[in-house]
Amino acid sequence: MTIGVVGLGAAGLRTAMLLEKLGVDVKLFEARGRPGGRLHCVDEGGGAIYEAGGEWIDSDHFRVLNLLKEFGMEPTTPGDWPRKLVYRGKECTEATIWSDALEDDLRVEAAAREMCRDLTNPPWSNTHASEFDDRRLIDFIREHTQSERGLWWVNSKYRSDEGDDLENIGLLGWLCGFLHYLDRDGDVMSAYRIPGGSRQLCEKILASLKTEPQFQRTLLRVQQDPGGVKLIFEDGEEWVDHVILTLPPTALERVVFEPALTPQRRCAIEACRMSRAIKICWEFKEPWWQNEGWGGSMMCDGPLQQTWDSSVGSAPILTAYICGDEACRWLALGDPVRAGLYELSRIFPECSQYFERGWVHNWLTDPYSPGAFSHMAPGYVLEHMKHISPPEGRIHFAGEHTALWTGFIEGALESAERVVEEFTKR
């Protein structure tokens, strides 16, 4: 039996590893000229190395941590806590957060914990909570915050997690994600990064595989019949017994299936939203933020939204992570790098004198995965979510959008385990 794996992001690479361990012959296809997908470690030369895509690992993302261990890689710990908070020209840190913001944060968390008491996984099993699925996360947060500053802070935290404005996030989907956090203790979020950058991990995975990947193979059409699956690419055709598609939903929408996918699947693919997020990365002559005793991590109420020290190589690099409507506004500017530097200098005037060069990474219009990662819109969980992952005949589906750890590298690896089990249970 030969299984094709289309899409060599984290889900596809891990799927190939697991299949080869089972002795299965695989064929590997990737539209880009590199592995990793939305894991994209960029080397601009001169020591300027940074993550343009997925970057953070929570301390309970055991699949990711175990994968790193398998390749002898020790995750690195960012040294930028406590995060600086800037609101209406006033500054504090997460360790000394304003009392009204802290109280609102705790109030929202307590309400979420209470609502989660009656929820279980998988998310679509919570039919008794249909009123949550119809609600927006932003309305829930407004309901449980009492100060403008608290509303800003809680909104900023969860907007960063979701990668989009909270007006677009469904409450039930968010609460089911919150279930992962109920037993957490201490500093768990964004606790680690991949040592040397995600490129090293992807290269180690590829080197461990017996199969040579085929890059720059853009999938156009999938034809299945009782005898197998024909994969039609821009530059030719391939036959396999089964295929695993790890493409994000926005890319799956462009693929023609013969016979057509079920209406439930097609609707689920169309309803699965991708977060609008960009990164603006600046290289500096020296890490001026460290000279001030600050780690580089910031949340602010201005258009930059969030920053952190993203240096992977020897060059000091600061990244701004911008989501939602604000990301669209930034992309409409002629020079987001310079415009972003100006906004940064309004908070930290000294930054301009150290500036070297910069880059913008736009995931909104990326040709292979329009959008940064998936999120669940209002109404998605109960109507569509259960239809996004089951196989259809010889076609199987993986990727973070098909996982319970939706939107995380951990979810991509989770989906790889699930899709391989579909073959072991046959």
- For residue 275, CA distances in Å to 163, 173, 209, 232 come to 5, 14, 32, 29
pLDDT of residue 28: 98
Per residue in 72-128, pLDDT (tens digit) is 999 998 877 779 999 999 999 999 999 999 999 999 999 999 999 999 999 999 999
Q: In 259-314, which ranges are E strands?
A: 273-274, 277-284, 298-300, 306-309
Q: With bands split at pLDDT 50, 70 and 90, how would you rate the model's confidence at 372?
A: very high
User: Beta strand pairing status for 236-240 and 228-233?
Assistant: antiparallel
User: What is the spatial distance between Cα 415 and Cα 9, in angstroms, rounded to a whole number?
Assistant: 12
Q: Model-level pTM greater than 0.95?
A: yes
pLDDT of residue 417: 98
- For residue 191, CA distances in Å to 203, 317, 389 come to 23, 19, 29
Per residue in 215-247, pLDDT (tens digit) is 999 999 999 999 999 999 999 999 999 999 999
pLDDT of residue 186: 65
pLDDT of residue 81: 72
Of 25-34, 216-225, 285-294, 379-388, the poorest mean pLDDT is in: 285-294
pLDDT of residue 359: 98
Residues 135-155, buried b or exposed e (16+ Cβ, 10 A)? bbbbebbeebbeeebbbbbbb
Nearest-5° Cα angle at 353, 346 to 278: 55
Per residue in 181-217, pLDDT (tens digit) is 888 776 688 889 999 999 999 999 999 999 999 999 9
pLDDT of residue 189: 83
Structural domains present in the chain: 2-37+197-273+375-424 (3.50.50.60), 41-80+190-195+274-362 (3.90.660.10), 98-181 (1.10.405.10)
Mean of the per-residue pLDDT values for the chain?
Answer: 96
**Does the pLDDT of residue 20 top 70, yes or no?**
yes
Range 162-186 average pLDDT: 92
Q: In 213-284, which ranges are E strands?
A: 214-215, 219-225, 228-233, 236-240, 242-245, 256-258, 273-274, 277-284
pLDDT of residue 76: 94
Q: With bands split at pLDDT 50, 70 and 90, how would you rate the model's confidence at 375?
A: very high
